[in-house]
Structure 1
Amino acid sequence: MSDDDPTAAPAGVPAELGATYRPAERYGFLQASSARLRYACWNVPGTASGKVKGTVVLLGGRAEFIEKYATEVVGELLGRGYCVYALDWRGQGLSDRLLADRGKGHIDNFSTYMADLQLFLDKVVAPTAPRPILALCHSMGAHIMMRVLAENGPGPISAGVLCSPMTALKREAMLRSVLMLMPELPAIDERYLFGTGPFVVFAREFGSNIVTHDERRYRFTDKWFAADPRLALGGPTLGWGRQAARSMTAAVAPGYLERIELPLVLISAGEDALIDSHSHSAVVARLKHGDHVTVAGAKHEVMMETDALRGLFWEAFDRLAKGVLGQ
């Protein structure tokens, strides 16, 4: 089902990011239903197996891509002794896009994302990843992982850290009101969601951004899109918004979260303007083995924040690794 393929590597690397960027040892495509999914795998450098503590499955959020995390986060995980396995969601990164307009972030149903993740875990991660395996997921990726754990069980995953998980949106009531008025037709659902559009680098003013206080890390996206334009992605479609709303409803259905057996740490961003982080405490309360950490002062992308705020994230990650995995 998986096929290693060097063409899944990025076409170029921004020179100014080269010092911390870690290219993967293995890139490949995984054939899923109606789409090829791109993945990357890193081994702990210069090791015999004795230095390997385990593996981290790294999953980004909507519009993100493997290289954004390979710029710093992957190196920090490798330095801690973890192999890393990462996936581009269908419709973004170098995975197949769903619409002729590559700039539109679209999905037919979040169950498709869930099936893609399960396939990745079954066919790429489980056969080769050193144990134990820890999930590290952001935003939409955290939401999808949580749903897969609830519906399919833990599989090869031993524990997880979910950063800014998409459990509720700040402007969700407005989104749902608009969706109720819009007929569910391809011609409608394939339009950009109101207030969004194609990626325009000149429109990305740091001062008005809502994801990080750190301008250098904010520019990771711009620099990678310039180095390999195939990575570029604009806003979500109305159909993506419709399916996201339905998936968030499904994720909080009675008895749903209670199915998750493994330990999870939910990390909330104290200044999140995208996700309603007030919903996280209720989610954690329903988990059998849940912990809740709030990084006060952080915007949505905690792993792309300032050094001080990222330090609080890494403390939470290291605490889970030590406490749950015995390391």
Structure 2
Amino acid sequence: MLRTLLILFMGLTMTQLALASPQLWQQAHQGHFIGVDGMRLNYATLTQANARGAVVIASGRSEGYLKYHGLAKALLEQELDVYIWDHRGQGLSERLTRNPDMGHVERFDDYVADMTTFIDTKVLPRKPKKLYLVGHSMGGAIGSLYLQHYPDTFDAAVFSAPMYGIQLPGPRWALEPVLAMMARWNRLFGEPGYIPGGTDYEPKPFERNLLTQDADAYQDFLDLYQQIPELQLGDPTNHWMLESFNAMDRIRSQAQRITTPTLVMQAGNDAIVDNQVMESVVNASTNTSLLRLPNARHELLIETPTIRRRVLSALTDWLQRF
């Protein structure tokens, strides 16, 4: 109960914030805005005098903005302001289920509507000279849907391992009816349910992780979620998965509507998203390039130092072109 109340009312102390990143997030403006259905969504901004532009960061599933201190620091060093929010149901934002560990959303488009509100109310009023979008995984899917509807907002975009398809334990045609049946059954009891085998937050040992090959970076990630348990999130619900299928179908079928200059970075050893689907979206998009990182895992931004340097260099070089 205490953890739920902390999530709902954001009781972060300065000690917790210092543990997260003493040199960065204490300098940020942190607040909240109201999203779809009155949900409280937390955000942070890092601005500087004479910035040459601004970057909006759309994070991945189960993440919060406190995890993005490395990317935020790199962008600030490039004289770019940073705007980042926590999606509904995760990070420091309000959760949607009685069990706060459930990764849930009622409508995937709510993520996009929240993003639109954030940009319209917190970013555009600052009138940045240039405006860029960076999205990781689920954030890449949300960002792509946004670009399909609002092609003129951003000067350029970069997506890291975007969620255009998900690697599944079996064929989708067999799994989807089962998930739909379970989601309907869950509704009868008034609470969403986990996907088959899903659990509350369980930190995996480095040897079993599918995200990064960098043991130190992975430990930093685990430490952050241990120090600030409000960030913890378990597996997705059946309904979340169904909504994600629908969203990814729309991204693929309307890929030609992504006209913003976009760089997609692909992790060659990704065990989370489907690289084949990713390539089909890139090929169908109007103004999109693909960068393959053959030996990388899904979390490109916390991969080994060699991969991470290449990722950050490609990201900043792309943004400087536009």
Output the TM-score relative to the length of structure 2: 0.89
Answer 1 or 2: which has greater helix percent.
Answer: 2
Work out the CA distance in 2 between the residues paired with 1:200 and 1:285: 37
Asked if residue 146 in structure 1 is aligned to residue 149 in structure 2, the reply is: no
Per-residue CA deviations over 1:90-147 (Å, capped at 9, x if unaligned) read 0001111000100001011111111111111111111115220111110000101101
Out of 41, 46, 60, which is 1:37 matched to?
Answer: 41
Residue in 2 aligned with 1:177?
174
CA gap of 1:131–1:231, structure 2 versus 1, over 3 A, is same
The residue identity in structure 1 corresponding to 2:61 is R
Deviation at 1:154, TM superposition (A): 3.0
Q: Is the 8 A contact 2:55 2:131 kept in 1?
A: yes
Q: Is the 8 A contact 1:68 1:224 kept in 2?
A: yes
Work out the CA distance in 2 between the residues paired with 1:15 and 1:36: 23
SS of residue matched to 1:265: strand
Deviation at 1:176, TM superposition (A): 4.8
SS of residue matched to 1:117: helix
Residue in 1 aligned with 2:6?
none
Please show how residues 187-206 of structure 1 align to structure 2 within 5 Å: 187=186, 190-201=192-203, 204-206=204-206
Q: Is the 8 A contact 2:17 2:25 kept in 1?
A: no
Work out the CA distance in 2 between the residues paired with 1:288 and 1:266: 13
The residue identity in structure 2 corresponding to 1:41 is T
The residue identity in structure 2 corresponding to 1:280 is M
SS of residue matched to 2:275: coil
Deviation at 1:200, TM superposition (A): 2.4
Work out the CA distance in 1 between the residues paired with 2:305 and 2:22: 17
Aligned length: 307
Work out the CA distance in 2 between the residues paired with 1:17 and 1:124: 23
Out of 286, 289, 308, which is 1:288 matched to?
Answer: 286
Residue in 1 aligned with 2:228?
228
The residue identity in structure 1 corresponding to 2:129 is R
Please show how residues 106-255 of structure 1 align to structure 2 within 5 Å: 106-128=104-126, 130-155=128-153, 157-171=154-168, 173-181=170-178, 182-183=180-181, 184-185=183-184, 187=186, 190-201=192-203, 204-253=204-253
For structure 1, the residue ranges without an aligned partner over 5 or more in a row are 1-6
For structure 2, the residue ranges without an aligned partner over 5 or more in a row are 1-8
Residue in 1 aligned with 2:5?
none
Report percent identity of matched pairs.
26
SS of residue matched to 1:246: helix
Work out the CA distance in 2 between the residues paired with 1:22 and 1:96: 20
- Cα-Cα RMSD: 2.0
Deviation at 1:261, TM superposition (A): 2.2
Out of 313, 316, 321, which is 2:314 matched to?
Answer: 316
Deviation at 1:322, TM superposition (A): 2.4
The residue identity in structure 2 corresponding to 1:252 is R
Work out the CA distance in 1 between the residues paired with 2:157 and 2:19: 32
SS of residue matched to 2:96: coil
Q: Is the 8 A contact 1:99 1:106 kept in 2?
A: yes
Out of 253, 267, 270, which is 2:268 matched to?
Answer: 270
